[in-house]
Amino acid sequence: MKLAIIGATGKTGQAVLKVALQRQLATTAIVRNAAKLSQDVPTLERDIFDLTPADLQGFDAVICTFASSKKADYPRVNQQLTTILAGTTTRLIVVGSGATLFLDESRQKTVADKLPIFMRSASRAQVKAREILEASEVNWTYVAPPYNYLPTAPATGHYQVGHDVLLYDQHHDSSISYADMALALVDEVQHPHFERQRMTVAWQ
């Protein structure tokens, strides 16, 4: 299986790259600055907005872990990637925002509704980014982390998955480590269950 990881030098991207290499997947890192890579892997040094269809040709799946302080970039990124991958069979898995998740099964309110007003514009940008995927013909999956997304927490090797509602563990905590999120992402690449669907991950 041929996998591309966009943003492989970021925290989520590094975690995904580690798992992909452990699984011996044929992995290419797509990054803006290859000097920041800590792993010796095939690399494409390219700004995400400069990617072309030829750059992503031949991959079975692309995991996008792009992150930016500019909220308007997220819809642009998904528009760029869905345009590039239109008419292909390449799977596109985008790591998005937990703010887009519903709080409970009633699906009346989202995590964003609990956030301070000044943070809600970023959440709206993430919703728009997700809607771009949903409107496309690409084989997409939008992955939303839980309430607490923990960069330094260890891998447990255990997690639960859901669709669009915030998940909690047995202690009513909604958390996942970057390491276990990476495990879930690569598991989804190898064993698809959420094609053209939303997906969320949390500890059990």
pLDDT at residue number 50: 98
Q: Which residues of 90-110 are buried (b: 16+ CB within 10 A; e: fewer)?
A: bbbbbbbbbbbbbbeeeeeeb
pLDDT score recorded for residue 58: 97
Question: By the 8 A CB rule, do 177 and 154 touch?
Answer: yes
Q: What is the CATH number of the domain that holds 123?
A: 3.40.50.720
- Cα–Cα distance for residue pair 194/80, rounded to 1 Å: 22
Q: How much is the pLDDT for 115? A: 83
Torsion of CA 62, 128, 151, 103, to 10 degrees: -120
Residue 94 pLDDT grade (very low, low, confident, very high; cuts 50, 70, 90): very high
Task: Give the model's confidence band at 114: pLDDT under 50 very low, under 70 low, under 90 confident, else very high.
Answer: confident
- Collapsed DSSP state (helix, strand, coil) of residue 163: coil
Q: Which two tokens stand for residue 174?
A: 């909604």
Q: What is the pLDDT of residues 118-157, one digit of tens each?
A: 777 778 899 999 999 999 999 999 999 999 999 999 999 9
Residue 75 CA to its chain's centroid (Å): 14
State which residues form the domain around 80: 2-202
User: How far from each other are the two terminal CA atoms of the chain, in whole angstroms?
Assistant: 29
As for how many domains the chain has, the answer is 1
Q: How many whole angstroms separate alpha carbon 32 and alpha carbon 203?
A: 32
The pLDDT assigned to 104 comes to 94
